[in-house]
Amino acid sequence: MVEIVGASCTESVCPPDNPCCNYCGYSLGFKIDAFHYLYFSGEGAGCGGNSCLNKCTLLLPGRRYDITGNIWKNQVGLNFLQLKEWRFLGPMSAK
């Protein structure tokens, strides 16, 4: 299941006439185990917007996909999957 695995927002004090002035970005991926995540990279790999409304590009959190790509690790040891192709399998089923 695709999930949000990282998030960051600017921390500006927003004026009353623009309460959503901060930018937020979200990384998509999935949990490998309790301490490790696989972060997606490339087209469809994230979400962004302001502090009130965010939009994901192509992949959506909470949905299942058949995904192919290349796995790589960055300089600090985070695991990434460079997205190549994906096929929507459906929403996560309730258990």
Task: Name the pTM for this structure.
Answer: 0.78
Q: Which domain holds residue 50?
A: 3-91
Report the C-alpha gap between 37 and 71 in whole angstroms.
Answer: 12
User: For residues 66 and 89, is the Cβ–Cβ distance under 8 A?
Assistant: yes
Q: Report the number of distinct structural domains present in the chain.
A: 1
Rg from Cα positions in the chain:
15
- Choose among 74, 81, 78: nearest CA to 43: 81
- Choose among 46, 88, 41, 84: nearest CA to 66: 88
Tens of pLDDT along the chain (95 residues)?
899 998 999 999 999 999 999 999 999 999 989 888 999 998 878 899 998 999 987 898 889 999 999 999 999 999 999 999 999 997 776 55
